[in-house]
Amino acid sequence: MALGSRLAVVLLSLLHAGLTAQTEAKPNPGDAPDRTPSDFVRFVPVGEGGHLDTAITTYRKGEVEVVLFGAVHIADQACYDVLNDRFTAYEALLYELVGPADYRPQKGQRGDGPISMLQTALQRSLELAFQLDAIDYGPANFVHADMTPAEFEASMAERGESLMTIMLGMMLDGMKAQRKAAEDEDEQPRDAKPAVDFDLVTAFRSGRGRHTMRMLFASQLEQMEALSAGGSQGNGTLLYGRNEKCLQVLERELAAGKKKLGIYYGAAHLPHLEQRLVADFGFQKVGHEWLVAWDCTPRPDVKYDRELVQARLRCRDELAALAAMAREYRTGGMAPREVPTVAELAAAKGRDGAPLYRGPQQDPWGKTYLLRKRAVGVRWEAVSSGQDGVLGTTDDLVVQEPSRRSSLFGR
């Protein structure tokens, strides 16, 4: 629930930001193994690519060691493989997830709400793995250290919050940060490097769409995590409230005699957790390392096929012409009760006596186009079974007959 909200805000903020990316990495003294406050997420540009990293930060107090692992909810599978291996070394691995007490998500378990749909869309679009699919929550050392839904709702009610106010607050924080960045850019010398603009349409047509999207999201995610930690939500339920629940569980595990513990929480939570560990629990930072979460090395999209893309674009154009002529046939008093085949449409005559449809009757893969009635309304639609030649699969192309309004306005 709360995790998905943060992803939604990231997406909305990116769209508002104008699709720009940072061009330079900013050194942070918090990267040092013994200095606080620490930096927990960063984007490092390298040539035309780069990498998004999350931190693994170690703290000690006598014989007790606590390690903070910065979680990114979608990442390369290689990142999750490293984490799964590292997690086995801890007596207790405390993890975030708003859910029932000791809730352990099962692989492939997804909700059906808009936030879950957004997570799935981002994962697929960026060709990344989803945390709940890739992390093994089954080992006995995994300890649920987050609020239950009832606790989360009670905390929001106590603070006068709702998911809408949380998201609105984060969006406003993002807008403030963007204004500040614009002001700072105006003060830069004229020879300073400007932000890089991304043309997503051109990128996808060139076979580098997913790389471009990775760069877009990765270069902004560091800023968004910082906003989550230090903005208007810093003392709210989403961060502060859940962190306090995590620290209560940590106290319980320490009281039980655990000496080596890990905390796997979103990177936005970690500045506050670090502050509490150092100032109130008496721990000292002794180590800081980076783990690559997203490898943004330029490479063609794995599934990109230039010839296929061009064929599908041509197919869609042909379907649009076919659907337009189908409307002429249906509304011109020539339509029988049944929807015609493409061959029957081609044999029909228009008002001027000329053939009504002269376009291709087969798609680029040699299958005959289909006309059919839409499931809703009276209009028809033109259909191709796509490159697999099988109707009802995900590669089908469908163009509906234009509406009367669209026809009047030439669309």
pLDDT digits (tens, 9 = 90+) for 69-127: 999 888 999 999 999 999 999 999 999 999 998 888 887 666 665 666 666 777 777 78
Distance CA 118, CA 279 (A): 37
Residue 233 has pLDDT above 80, yes or no: no
Matching residue, tokens 């209009």: 379
Res. 236: pLDDT tops 90: no
Exposed/middle/buried for 71, CB within 10 Å: 0-12, 13-18, 19+? buried
DSSP 240: I
pLDDT at 79: 95
As a three-state string, the secondary structure of 191-217 is: CCCCCEECCHHHHHHCCCHHHHHHHHH
More confident residue, 168 or 31: 31
**Mean per-residue pLDDT, 367-373:** 95
- More reliable by pLDDT, 178 or 268: 268
Residue type for 405, please? R
Reading the block at residue 79, the tokens are 């990142």
- Whole-model pTM: value is 0.63
Tell me what pLDDT residue 231 has. 46
**Beta carbons of 44 and 50 less than 8 angstroms apart:** yes
For 351-357, what is the mean pLDDT? 82
pLDDT at 170 over 50: yes
Query: What is the token pair recorded at 76?
Result: 């390369």
Question: Distance (Å, rounded) from C-alpha 326 to C-alpha 53?
Answer: 54
Give me the residue spans of the domains in the chain.
Answer: 2-295, 306-408
- Please report, as a single letter, which amino acid is at residue 193: K
Give the least confident one: 131-145, 232-246, 271-285. 232-246
Q: Does domain 306-408 have CATH number 3.30.700.10?
A: yes
Each residue of 386-396: pLDDT tens digit? Answer: 999 999 988 89
Q: Write the pLDDT tens digit of every residue in 260-308.
A: 999 999 988 999 999 999 999 999 999 999 999 999 888 766 566 677 8
Residue 213, pLDDT > 80, answer no
Name the 3-class secondary structure at 143: strand
DSSP E strands, 109-195 = 129-130, 142-144
Q: Are 312 and 320 in contact (CB under 8 A)?
A: no
Q: What is the pLDDT of residue 399?
A: 93
pLDDT band at residue 311, thresholds of 50, 70 and 90?
very high
More confident position, 148 or 304: 148
User: Using CA atoms, how far apart are residues 198 and 213, in angstroms rounded to an integer?
Assistant: 9
CA atoms of 128 and 80, how far apart (whole Å): 11
Residues in the chain: 411
The tens digit of pLDDT for each residue in 313-342 reads 999 999 999 999 988 888 876 656 678 999
Task: Give residue 138's pLDDT.
Answer: 92
Banded model confidence at residue 244, pLDDT cuts 50, 70, 90: very high
